[in-house]
Amino acid sequence: MKNIPLLLLCFALNVYLSYGQIYYTSNGEITFYSHAPIEDIEATNKQVSCAIDIKEGKIAFSMLMNAFQFEKALMQEHFNERYVESHKFPKATFEGLIKDLEDVSLSKAGSYNIEVEGKLTLHGITKTVKSRGTIKVGIDKNVSAKSTFVVNLQDFKVEIPTMYIDNISESIEIKVDVKLKPKS
């Protein structure tokens, strides 16, 4: 019976160790832009969940594809039904590592330029992507991260009918904007 306090300590320590360094949000924003000769298309997802493990330099994103908001309702339907096929592949995820973590002391307040490399899963296909961005650590210990990168639709087997080649761009610009808080 003397082991019970040890057991509890062990349990608590594990919980602490696994969650102690994590910053989290469930309402991050990701916007994508398609610039094509006939029209520009833009849509924003405001329910992106994101977690950053500052100590280990790990970063992860997860979002529902049908949470992307388009100005035109019909475009939103086409996006989900025809292009990203949300009924088959409801989520897009990313997990990656912050490179050169030793140059970035995220435990101190300040703004840091970072490079992230990791696996992006979209439309059921996983590819390695690299992206540059900034991480700001506030005095209040809140963390915000921003990044812009480009995704080629072909890499993720999102097909554009030849008829719409002038309406939808093959390379889509993606902007990430997240504000995170320490996870309790």
Partner 1 sequence: MRLHHALHILVFALAIPQIVKSQSDLLDMLTQEEEPLTQYTIATFKGTRIVSGHTVETQAEGVLQFLIGHRFGRLNAGWRDLFGLDNATVRLGFDYGVTDNLNLGFGRSSYTKVYDGHIKYRLLRQRYGAKPFPFTVTAMASAMIRSDLRPFGNIDVPIRSRMYYTYQIMLARKFGDWLSIQVTPTIVHRNLVQLASDKNSIFSLGLGSSVKLTKAMRFNAEYYMILPSNQILSEIQGEKVRNAFSFGIDLETGGHVFQLHFTNAQGMHEKFLASETTGRWLNGDIHFGFNVSRVFTIYDRYAKREKREARKKTTL
The residues of the shown chain that bind partner 1, judged by CB under 8 A, are: 1, 3-4, 6-7, 10-11, 14-15, 17-19, 22, 24, 26, 49-53, 58-62, 64, 66, 69, 71-74, 77, 80-82, 86-88, 90, 93, 95, 161, 163-164, 167
Cβ distance to partner 1 smaller for residue 52 or 151: 52
Can you name the residues that pair with 110 across neighbouring β-strands? 137
User: Counting Cβ atoms within 10 Å, is residue 95 exposed (0-12), middle (13-18) or buried (19+)?
Assistant: middle
Cβ distance to partner 1 smaller for residue 137 or 158: 158
Distance CA 95, CA 51 (A): 10
Q: Least distance to partner 1 from the beta carbon of 32, Å?
A: 15
Q: Least distance to partner 1 from the beta carbon of 62, Å?
A: 4
Cβ distance to partner 1 smaller for residue 65 or 139: 65
Distance CA 135, CA 116 (A): 11
Distance CA 100, CA 32 (A): 27
The residue with tokens 């990701």 is 30
Cβ distance to partner 1 smaller for residue 96 or 137: 96
Q: Tell me which residue of 123, 124, 115, 11 sits closest to 57, measured CA to CA.
A: 115
Q: Least distance to partner 1 from the beta carbon of 172, Å?
A: 18
Q: Least distance to partner 1 from the beta carbon of 17, Å?
A: 6
